[in-house]
C-alpha cells in the first residue's frame, strides 16, 4: 500500500482469470497473480517458515466449494518452495469444536488437503493444538484474542481464503479468514460476545490489528453463492486474486460479484479505521479488468436483514426480520456438532434430534456453517419478505 499527500491509501490487487482447477491452469494463474504484485520472492525469503492459512471450515469435498481448493494449496506450496521457503499448511477448523486432532485430520483428508500435502511433502499443522493470548492495545472493542501459537510463530503468513457469501456478514474473504486463527471454541465465545454483524465485524477489524497476513491469495475459481459459507451453491467465478491488503482484495472480490464493498461491515470499518483500502476508486487493479470479470447473476444470502444492529429496539426488530435456523430432520446425521458449537445455548439434545430455542438464538448461524449434512435451513420470517 502507498499513501498519497492527502493521506489517501492506494492498494494494489491482482486479478487473473483461471477457468477450472486443473493443476496447470491454477499454477499459471497464481504465478501470474503473484508476478503482477512483485513475485513470490518479494514476500518469501530462503529459510522462512511460511504458514499457508487455508479455509477449512468443514471436511466437505472440494466440489462443494466450502474450503480452499487443494489445487490452490498445491500451487502455493510450490511457489513457497520456489522462493526457498518452508511451507506449512493449516487452520483452526470450526469443524473441530474443542481442539480435536483426529477430527481435524479427518477434515484435511476428506477435503483433499492431506493428499496434496503428502504428495508435495508439505507439513500439515494443527493450528488449534496450542493457544496464546495476544493483546491489541489499539483495538476499538476487542483487545484480547486467544490465537494459535503457530500463527504467531510463523515467519510469513499467507492467507488463502475462499470467495463465499456469509449469512451473518454477507461476504467472507480475506479479512474473515483471519477468524480461523482463533483456536477451538474461542470462536464460539467471540460469536457470543459479538452478536450483531456490526460488532462482529469490528471484532474482525480489531483482530486484523494483530493478524496481518503478509500476502492474501483468494480462491475465486469456484466460489459460493446463496446461503454460504457452507450450505450455499457453488458458482463459477473463474478468478484468482492476490494482494498484501486483504481489505482491498475483499473490496475487489465483492465488486466483481455485484456487492457494494461497503455493504460488508468489515470492509467499511477497516477502511474507516485505516486498516486497509475499501474504496474501489483508490485501488489499483492489475491483470484483468473488473468489467471483464463481472458476474451478473450472483445470489446473496437469504438472511441479509441481519444488517440491523442488535441494540435495544433494533434487537427486537431484527428478531422479526432476520432469517432463523431450523432443523431438516431427514438430513440430520445426529453428529451433535451444532449443539457443541452453539455459543448461546440455543441448541440442545432433546430426544433424537437437536432442538432449537429461538429466544436464545443470536443468529450467528454457526449451526448452519458447520452442519456436515446440510440439515440446518435458514427461513426468512413472513414480515421480512415485505421489507
Per residue in 143-192, pLDDT (tens digit) is: 999 999 999 999 999 999 999 999 889 999 999 999 999 999 999 899 98
Q: What is the mean pLDDT of residues 215-226?
A: 98
CA distances to 51, 127, 251, 336, 338 from 372, in Å? 27, 21, 30, 10, 10
In this prediction, residue 115 carries a pLDDT of 98
Reply yes or no on whether the pLDDT at 366 is more than 90: no
Grouping H, G, I as helix, E, B as strand and the rest as coil, residue 330 is helix
Residue 306's pLDDT band (cuts 50, 70, 90)? very low
* C-alpha cell read off for 102: 483426529
What is the rounded CA–CA span in Å between residue 55 and residue 90? Answer: 9
Q: Which range among 74-78, 247-251, 332-336 shows the weakest confidence by mean pLDDT?
A: 332-336
CA 91 vs. chain centroid, Å, equals: 11
Residue 240's pLDDT band (cuts 50, 70, 90)? very high
What is the rounded CA–CA span in Å between residue 255 and residue 276? Answer: 16
Q: What are phi and psi of 335, to 5 degrees?
A: -85, -20
Reply yes or no on whether the pLDDT at 204 is more than 50: yes
Residue 97's pLDDT band (cuts 50, 70, 90)? confident
Residues with Cβ within 8 Å of residue 260, at least 6 apart in sequence: 254
Average per-residue pLDDT for the chain: 91
Reply yes or no on whether the pLDDT at 298 is more than 60: yes
What is the rounded CA–CA span in Å between residue 8 and residue 373? Answer: 46
Grouping H, G, I as helix, E, B as strand and the rest as coil, residue 151 is helix
What is the rounded CA–CA span in Å between residue 161 and residue 130? Answer: 22
**Whether CATH 3.40.640.10 fits 304-386:** no
Reply yes or no on whether the pLDDT at 114 is more than 70: yes
Q: What is the mean pLDDT of residues 326-349?
A: 89
What is the rounded CA–CA span in Å between residue 224 and residue 219? Answer: 11
Q: Is the fold of 2-293 the same as that of 304-386?
A: no
Residue with more model confidence, 243 or 367: 243
pTM: 0.87
What is the rounded CA–CA span in Å between residue 265 and residue 202? Answer: 8
In this prediction, residue 315 carries a pLDDT of 52
In this prediction, residue 321 carries a pLDDT of 62
In this prediction, residue 311 carries a pLDDT of 43
Using one digit for the tens of pLDDT, what is the confidence trace for 1-21? 544 344 456 899 999 999 999
What is the rounded CA–CA span in Å between residue 161 and residue 246? Answer: 10
Reply yes or no on whether the pLDDT at 312 is more than 80: no
Reply yes or no on whether the pLDDT at 49 is more than 60: yes
Percent of the residues in the chain that have a pLDDT greater than 90, as a whole number? 74
Residue with more model confidence, 215 or 342: 215
Q: What is the CATH number of domain 2-293?
A: 3.40.50.11440
Q: What are phi and psi of 91, to 5 degrees?
A: -160, 160
Query: C-alpha dihedral over 226, 197, 216, 28, to 10 degrees?
Result: 10
Residue 313's pLDDT band (cuts 50, 70, 90)? very low
In this prediction, residue 124 carries a pLDDT of 98
Please report, for the chain, the start and end positions of each structural domain, with discontinuous segments joined by +. 2-293, 304-386
In this prediction, residue 302 carries a pLDDT of 73
* C-alpha cell read off for 87: 511451507
In this prediction, residue 3 carries a pLDDT of 41
Percent of the residues in the chain that have a pLDDT greater than 70, as a whole number? 91
- Residue matched to cell numbers 444492529: 309
Reply yes or no on whether the pLDDT at 47 is more than 80: yes
Amino acid at each position: 500500500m502507498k499513501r498519497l499527500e492527502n493521506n489517501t491509501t492506494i492498494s494494489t490487487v491482482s486479478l487473473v482469470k483461471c477457468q477450472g482447477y486443473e493443476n496447470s491452469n491454477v499454477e499459471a494463474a497464481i504465478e501470474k497473480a503473484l508476478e503482477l504484485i512483485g513475485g513470490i520472492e518479494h514476500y518469501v525469503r530462503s529459510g522462512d517458515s511460511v504458514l499457508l492459512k487455508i479455509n477449512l471450515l468443514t471436511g466437505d469435498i472440494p466440489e462443494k466449494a466450502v474450503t480452499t481448493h487443494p489445487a490452490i494449496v498445491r500451487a502455493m506450496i510450490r511457489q513457497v518452495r520456489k522462493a526457498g521457503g518452508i511451507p506449512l499448511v493449516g487452520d483452526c477448523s470450526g469443524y473441530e469444536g474443542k481442539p480435536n486432532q483426529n477430527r481435524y485430520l479427518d477434515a484435511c483428508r476428506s477435503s483433499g488437503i492431506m493428499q496434496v500435502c503428502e504428495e508435495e511433502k508439505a507439513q500439515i499443522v494443527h493450528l488449534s493444538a496450542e493457544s496464546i493470548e495476544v493483546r491489541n492495545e489499539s483495538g476499538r472493542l476487542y483487545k484480547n484474542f486467544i490465537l494459535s501459537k503457530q500463527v504467531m510463530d510463523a515467519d510469513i503468513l499467507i492467507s488463502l481464503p475462499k470467495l463465499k457469501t456469509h449469512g451473518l456478514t454477507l461476504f467472507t474473504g480475506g479479512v474473515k479468514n483471519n477468524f480461523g486463527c482463533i483456536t477451538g471454541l474461542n470462536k464460539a465465545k467471540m460469536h457470543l460476545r459479538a452478536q450483531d454483524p456490526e460488532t462482529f465485524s469490528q471484532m474482525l477489524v480489531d483482530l486484523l490489528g494483530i493478524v496481518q497476513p503478509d500476502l492474501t491469495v483468494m480462491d475465486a475459481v469456484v466460489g459460493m453463492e446463496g446461503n454460504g459459507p457452507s450450505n450455499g451453491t457453488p458458482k463459477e467465478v473463474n478468478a484468482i486474486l492476490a494482494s498484501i491488503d486483504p481489505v482491498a482484495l475483499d473490496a475487489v472480490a465483492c465488486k466483481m460479484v455485484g456487492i457494494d464493498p461497503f455493504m460488508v461491515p468489515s470492509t467499511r470499518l477497516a477502511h474507516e479505521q485505516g486498516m486497509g483500502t475499501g474504496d474501489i476508486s483508490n485501488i489499483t487493479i492489475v491483470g484483468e479488468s473488473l468489467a471483464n470479470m463481472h458476474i451478473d447473476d450472483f445470489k446473496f444470502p437469504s438472511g441479509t436483514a441481519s444488517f440491523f444492529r442488535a441494540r435495544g429496539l433494533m434487537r427486537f426488530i431484527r428478531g422479526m426480520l432476520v432469517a432463523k435456523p431450523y432443523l431438516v430432520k431427514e438430513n440430520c446425521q445426529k453428529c451433535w456438532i451444532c449443539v457443541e458449537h452453539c455459543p448461546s445455548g440455543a441448541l440442545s439434545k432433546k430426544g433424537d434430534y437437536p432442538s432449537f430455542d429461538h429466544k436464545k438464538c443470536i443468529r450467528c448461524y454457526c449451526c448452519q456453517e458447520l452442519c456436515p449434512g446440510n440439515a440446518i435451513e435458514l427461513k426468512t420470517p413472513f414480515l421480512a419478505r415485505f421489507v
